[in-house]
């Protein structure tokens, strides 16, 4: 049998090196609660943000620069690879997700319309 995923609305943003400053409030609140840690390295005195770690039951969910961070309707926060996100989600108003790695994917199977 075949099944189709029910349409749901989620809050999401694309993680960048500046997300600690420009992220939505729900993400910043999770960082303050230490449910999310910004992953950094220091090379030659320069701080480099390369991702974030999201606390989950029994482990961690890791996101890299360019991944989408999603707050699900349950309040859970998860990461999603940008290619998967672009095939699965679109803006509420019907616009395609704007992301360089998503361009040209509009005809891929699995894209929600």
pLDDT in tens, 45-98: 999 999 999 999 889 999 999 999 999 999 999 999 999 998 888 888 777 777
The answer on pLDDT for 101 being more than 60 is no
CA–CA separation, 77 vs 54, rounded Å? Answer: 7
Domain count, the chain: 1
Average pLDDT, the chain: 86
DSSP 102: G
Question: Is residue 89 a contact partner of residue 67, using CB atoms and an 8 Å limit?
Answer: no
- pLDDT band of residue 2 (cuts 50, 70, 90) is confident
Q: Could you tell me how many residues make up the chain?
A: 113
5 in a domain, yes or no?
A: no
pLDDT of residue 68: 96
The strand pairing partners of 43, in sequence order, are 46
Q: 93 is in which domain, residue-wise?
A: 11-100
CA–CA separation, 79 vs 61, rounded Å? Answer: 7
Token pair recorded at residue 79: 């990461």
The three-state secondary structure class of 55 is strand
């Amino acid at each position: 049998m075949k099944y189709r995923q029910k349409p749901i609305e989620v809050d999401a943003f694309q993680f960048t090196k500046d997300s600690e400053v420009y992220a939505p409030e729900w993400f910043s609140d999770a960082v303050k609660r230490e449910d999310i840690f910004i992953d950094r390295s220091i090379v030659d005195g320069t701080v480099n943000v390369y991702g974030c770690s999201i606390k989950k039951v029994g482990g961690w969910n890791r996101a890299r620069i360019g991944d989408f961070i999603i707050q699900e309707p349950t309040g859970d926060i998860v990461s999603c690879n940008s290619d998967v996100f672009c095939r699965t989600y679109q803006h509420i108003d019907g616009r395609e997700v704007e992301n360089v790695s998503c361009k040209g994917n509009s005809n891929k199977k699995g894209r929600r319309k």
